[in-house]
């Protein structure tokens, strides 16, 4: 599994925590930045991650900004991306089981690192249920 990882300055610190966690678990990464805490524009990073997933450079993505809101909106502008902003383990589970999310969004200024890593782990280990949910995902993708 290869994960594309991208953040703006508001998500930079959490991105580095997530990056270390994923590397320690043997997950291959495509780090798309940012690479410091200097102010940058989150839409560029959300777009880059979404495009990496859609182009097959990564199997899934994780995007992080201060709240997760802006970068998730940007990622979702890439056709075919289903980016879910998750603030709980249950949201991460449902994002995968029911929505087949292919990008996870986190808020670097609203999540404690331990909770964020738990959300990442649930997101990465939960499978899409398919069935009746596939029809709904297809409807989303047709928009």
And the tokens for 23? 């590397």
CB hemisphere CA count around 85 (13 angstroms)? 18
Q: Which helix (H) or strand (E) segment is 107 a member of?
A: strand 103-107
Instruction: Tell me the β-bridge partners of 107.
Output: 65
- Structural domains in the chain (count): 1
d(CA 122, CA 141): 23
Residue 92 is predicted with a pLDDT of: 98
Any residues with CB less than 8 A from the CB of 66 and at least 6 apart, and which? 8, 10, 11, 107, 108, 109, 110
Kindly report the CATH number assigned to the domain that includes residue 42.
3.40.1400.10
Catalytic residue flag (residue 65): yes
Domain that holds residue 79: 2-142
Catalytic residue flag (residue 98): yes
Please report the sign of the dihedral spanned by the C-alpha atoms of residue 42, residue 29, residue 130, residue 127. Answer: negative
Give the pLDDT of the chain (143 residues) as one tens digit per residue: 999 999 999 999 999 999 999 999 999 999 999 999 999 999 999 999 999 999 999 999 999 999 999 999 999 999 999 999 999 999 999 999 999 999 999 999 999 999 999 999 999 999 999 999 999 999 999 99
Residue 37 is predicted with a pLDDT of: 94
CA-based Rg of the chain, rounded to a whole angstrom? 14
Query: Which entry of 9, 34, 49, 65 is annotated as an active-site residue?
Result: 65
Q: Are 101 and 81 in contact (CB under 8 A)?
A: no
């Amino acid at each position: 599994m290869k994960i594309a990882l991208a953040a703006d300055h508001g998500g930079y610190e959490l991105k580095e925590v997530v990056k270390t966690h994923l590397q320690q678990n043997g997950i291959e990464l495509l780090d798309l930045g940012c690479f410091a805490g200097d102010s940058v524009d989150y839409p560029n990073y959300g777009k880059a991650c979404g495009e990496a997933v859609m182009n097959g450079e990564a199997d899934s993505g994780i995007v992080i900004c201060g709240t997760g809101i802006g970068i998730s909106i940007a990622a979702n502008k890439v056709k075919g991306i289903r980016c879910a902003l998750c603030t709980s383990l249950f949201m991460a589970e449902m994002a995968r089981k029911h929505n087949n999310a292919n990008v996870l969004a986190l808020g670097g200024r609203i999540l404690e690192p331990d909770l964020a890593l738990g959300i990442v782990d649930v997101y990465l280990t939960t499978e899409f249920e398919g069935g009746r949910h596939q029809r709904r995902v297809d409807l989303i993708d047709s928009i």
